[in-house]
Structure 1
């Protein structure tokens, strides 16, 4: 599903845990919404993915922890 330009820096694809993903030179935040929550609210997406707009792992993790 993902090309070789993507590497996972925390956890791995398919988990429900928050994930920090490097794609090209930009880090992304990804969270898979649990199936139980999607059953309660079918309008929820399977996953949420947002660009952190940085190429620095430490900055990406700081953005995730701060919730910005």
Structure 2
């Protein structure tokens, strides 16, 4: 369902005006909050290393590397 919604939003050219925030299926916590919790425990260097390993996934799924790097502990 999520992939279908993203595809439709992209096809309609609504990426800039419509953003869907996905909720984790087992709780009421937003996916972005969960990501922030985990990535805030990593250093920027560790996030860089993860990005190098999973770069193709970031590109395939349209994840913004900079958003995740900003979550890293300073």
Please state which band the TM-score falls in when normalised by the shorter chain.
under 0.3
Report the structure, 1 or 2, having the larger helix content.
2
Report the structure, 1 or 2, having the larger strand content.
1
